[in-house]
Amino acid sequence: MPSRPQPRTGLDRPPPRGTVLPASPLALLLLAALGTIWGVTPAVGKLAVGGGIGPVGYALFYTAAAAAILAGIACARRESPPADAAALGFYLGAGLLGSAVPGTLVFVTLQHLPAGVLAMVIPASPLLTFLLAAAAGLERATRRRAGGVVLALAGTTLALSPGAVLPAGGSVAWAALSGLIPACYAASNLFAVRFRPPAAPPLVLAAGTLAASVLWLVPAALVFGQARLPGADAATALALIQGALQAAAYLIYFRLLTHQGGVFVSQVGYVIVLTGLFWGWVFFAEIPGALALPAAALIFAGLALATRPARPAPA
């Protein structure tokens, strides 16, 4: 979801390529928590934007809150971010591609779409990352993984059609625009693989990326007249809650990526779909149409094929 790194396809996981580490009960619990946080993000944002706060201003305020929380944790741990030219360029690029642009798009499109739509769109991010990585020669394209990508993207397309999570009469144009969100996350993933400072702790990189995202969002909020200081209202409270959730998601994500690997973390897509649809029903009484079930089945099947690690070569 917005202002967070996305599950990658193994491009930067610490374990050797194809390695599958056993999942402990704690790891499974953290994965469920991560998917629940990312799944509730559209619903919380839709509530806030519906309460009167502008989408750019909302993205600015909750991103600033998340950045402040992570920076505070980094300071408490005495971890300081690198500040050389390469690191600053990374923060600015990752903050733009992985936070500022997709985060704003989420809350702009949510003004015209059900919250459940985003739950079906976001899991396309690791699949698009794989496509871009394969095109760049960074990943090996097998028929199984390519077939998984096709299945999952077909499920995403079906999900965006009227009769699934998009209600009859819903805006197909806005649904199509939401497809740019996982595309931004995928581009951010490849950018991180190429330009991330190798020796920097993940926590300080996350804090630096979010701080750079704030720098991008401030002028955007000024242009759209949404840079007012937050008041004591429900939308501001939701922005603070959102910031705390995103900070927690970053910490969980990097813990799982470090100890379990990218293949394991990519399974969060299943949880995002289920919890995103659930929160849309809880907060907005969104009831998916008949096509939502086959769309989700295609996405799940595609994720299973595309994210399953290859069998190790025989010795």
pLDDT tens-digit readout, 122-146: 878 877 877 887 777 776 778 888 8
Q: How far apart are CA 103 and CA 26, in angstroms?
A: 29
Q: Cβ neighbours of residue 85 under 8 Å, at least 6 residues apart? A: none
Q: How far apart are CA 59 and CA 39, in angstroms?
A: 17
Across 3-19, average pLDDT:
45
Q: How far apart are CA 34 and CA 28, in angstroms?
A: 10
- Predicted local distance difference test score (pLDDT) of residue 67: 93
Q: Cβ neighbours of residue 282 under 8 Å, at least 6 residues apart? A: 43
Q: Cβ neighbours of residue 272 under 8 Å, at least 6 residues apart? A: 1, 35, 38, 39, 119, 122, 123
Residue 11 pLDDT grade (very low, low, confident, very high; cuts 50, 70, 90): very low
Q: How far apart are CA 71 and CA 14, in angstroms?
A: 24
Cβ atoms of residues 4 and 39 within 8 Å? no
Half-sphere exposure of 50 (CA within 13 A, CB side): 14
At 215, list the tokens.
């720098």
Please tell me whether the overall predicted TM-score, pTM, comes out greater than 0.75 for this model. yes
Q: What is the mean pLDDT of the chain?
A: 81
pLDDT tens-digit readout, 154-186: 988 888 877 778 776 667 788 888 889 989 988
Across 14-20, average pLDDT:
45
- Predicted local distance difference test score (pLDDT) of residue 213: 93
CA angle in degrees (0–180, nearest 5) for 243-244-250? 90
